[in-house]
Amino acid sequence: MENNKFLDIKGLNVSFYTQKGVVRAVRDLDLWINKGETLALVGESGCGKSVTASSIIRLIPSPPGKIESGEIFLDGQDILKLSEEEMQKIRGDKISMIFQDPMTSLNPVFKIGDQIAEIFITHYGLKKKEALERAVEMLDMVKIPSPEKRVKSYPHQLSGGMRQRVMIAMALASPHPGIMIADEPTTALDVTIQAQILDLMKELQEKIQMSLLLITHDMGVVAEMASRVAVMYAGRKVESADVYSIFENPFHPYTVGLLNSMPSNEKYKHNARLEAIEGNVPNLLEIGDGCPFENRCKYAKDICRNKFPEIKDMGNNHHVWCHFAGELNF
């Protein structure tokens, strides 16, 4: 089990030093992903899910950002100890990343074929001509029609879904694709295109046994894709479990609230009014050492205000950070 972890984050703390004060964007985060597994990191704006992703590829803008402490083991190697040069070699090789808006991640003035070919030139030392041939193969693999023609297209000539396919092709072009970090990969896409992209990601992942860290706010996408789920709120992980336990037996009041907030939840088939979580996400500058969900939680007691709970093991690798985990009736 232990040596099966492809990515293993231990005690990660990331802060941003702003004019208004220190924002603790990620606090004491432990997270691991096994080989070939899909972990969904779920949460709303400002919960720290994207900062976690940027930490894994070491692209936290610094200043103002800083990784304060923690270890990130990738394939057994602590990447926080690597030099920038060594890290450069890992990016686009063992780790690759795709983003919500593929237009901003592709260079608008180069043909997509050249952009994919660059990977083969840099990481494999191929000549331009061979590299372009490989680029065509990659486009074919992500099911872009007439790839020989498409390599000559510029990003703006492709639809959003096609661009995301190109990004996936680039992520898979690396010599040792070990983990793909997908940060809201389908959020900007239409639902029929989203279905196509999710399907493609699943299929390719099975084919090359790659780990996938899927960052999303959409519980529907989680249900569709994940094997395990970690829920974050205001910088903290509050619950983690396999996908079935999260949906069928959630223990944290926030997870429950999140599931109840989804209009697609089965329970709203007849009664239309949603069971919403009241209040707003707190300002990260103002969160102390208590549970960050305390001000919106209807079960909160004094202890929640003062102390962030210890990990509670509910069995079966289901972990919850709530003082009253298992004692609440939702």
Partner 1 sequence: MEKILEVKNLKKYFEIKKEGLKATESHILKAVDGVSFDVYKGETLGIVGESGCGKSTLGKTILNLHQKTEGDILFHGVDIGNLSPAQMKPYRKRMQMIFQDPYSSLNPRKKISYLLRQPMRVHNLDKEIDVEARIDQLLTIVGLDVKYKNRYPHQFSGGQRQRIGIARALSLNPEFVVCDEAVSALDVSVQAQILNLLMDLQKEFGLTYIFIAHDLAVVELISDRIIVMYLGRIVEEAPKVSLIANRLHPYTKALFEAFPEMNPRNRRVKKIIVGDVPSPIDPPSGCHFHPRCPFAKDICKSQYPDLKEVSPGHKVACWLYE
Given the rule CB under 8 A, which residues bind partner 1?
44-45, 159, 161-162, 190-196, 198-199, 217-224, 226, 243-244, 247, 257-266, 268, 272-278, 280-281
Structural element, H or E, at residue 223: helix 219-225
Of 173 and 229, which has the nearer Cβ to partner 1?
229
- Residue 39, CA distances (Å) to 56, 88, 117, 323 in order: 14, 24, 30, 25
Residue 260 beta carbon to partner 1: minimum distance, rounded to whole angstroms:
7
Residue 95 beta carbon to partner 1: minimum distance, rounded to whole angstroms:
26
Of 147 and 178, which has the nearer Cβ to partner 1?
147
Of 85 and 286, which has the nearer Cβ to partner 1?
286
The DSSP symbol for 279 reads S
Residue 188 beta carbon to partner 1: minimum distance, rounded to whole angstroms:
10
Of 59 and 274, which has the nearer Cβ to partner 1?
274
Residue 20 beta carbon to partner 1: minimum distance, rounded to whole angstroms:
13
Q: How buried is 53 (Cβ within 10 angstroms: 0-12 exposed, 13-18 middle, 19+ buried)?
A: buried
Exposure letters 214-253 (e unless 16+ CB within 10 A, then b): bbbebbebbbbbbebbbbbbbbbbbbbbebebbbeebbbb
Of 132 and 229, which has the nearer Cβ to partner 1?
229
Q: Please provide the DSSP assignment of 64-91 as one string.
A: TEEEEEEEEEETTEEGGGS-HHHHHHHB
Residue 202 beta carbon to partner 1: minimum distance, rounded to whole angstroms:
9
